[in-house]
Amino acid sequence: MKLEKEIMQERFKSEHQKMVVNLLFTGSWIGFQQLQILKPFGLTIQQYNILRILKGQYPNPATVNLLIERMLDKTSNASRIADRLVHKKFITRKTCPEDRRSVDVVIRKEGLELLEKIEAKEKELENKFNSLTNSEMKSLNNLLDKLRG
């Protein structure tokens, strides 16, 4: 839906200004939808994000620093989010033997299984979600990548 209608604002001063608002609004909109999928599994978006990073590394460990680097929200507290995932038994954490300042974080079998269940649910949604064609999604992705420079 046209942003102007959605937030009832008549017009923006510039395309740039509309873009900023549009990205904030759409980001929050898609975050809300993601959260609805994740909630039944007891995960937040950032917890899910960390599990996926760890799946990408698997079977290698990741350090907390590596998690922070790759997280979508760099200012969230990776160490404490990892805490919660340890508590839920989705990941393990132990001091890195090569550098005892670091910790090695690894996703557990339980975490990998959880991701599979979630990804199935996401696929379901993806099918209903067809306001953009595949080539439009590609354009959108390219524009976002270019925007960030």
Strand partners, 107: 91
Tokens 């270019």, residue?
146
Cβ at position 6, least distance to a second copy in Å? 7
Nearer to a second copy, 59 or 149 (CB): 149
Asked if the peptide bond before residue 59 counts as cis, ω within 30 degrees of 0, the response is yes
Q: Please list every residue from 86 through 125 that binds a second copy, using CB under 8 A.
A: 119, 122
Q: Which of 3, 38, 68, 106 binds a second copy (CB under 8 A)?
A: 3
The site map against a second copy for 37-76 (x = CB under 8 A) is --------x-------x--x------------xxxxxxx-
Q: Which of 39, 89, 117, 138 binds DNA (CB under 7 A)?
A: 39
Nearer to DNA, 95 or 141 (CB): 95
Q: How many residues bind DNA (CB under 7 A)?
A: 29
CA distances from 54 to 14, 16, 79 (A): 41, 36, 14
Q: Which of 2, 5, 16, 100 binds DNA (CB under 7 A)?
A: 100
SS3 label, residue 104: strand
**Which residues bind to a second copy, rule: CB under 8 A?**
1-3, 6-10, 13-32, 34, 45, 53, 56, 69-75, 119, 122, 126, 129, 131-132, 134, 136-141, 143-149
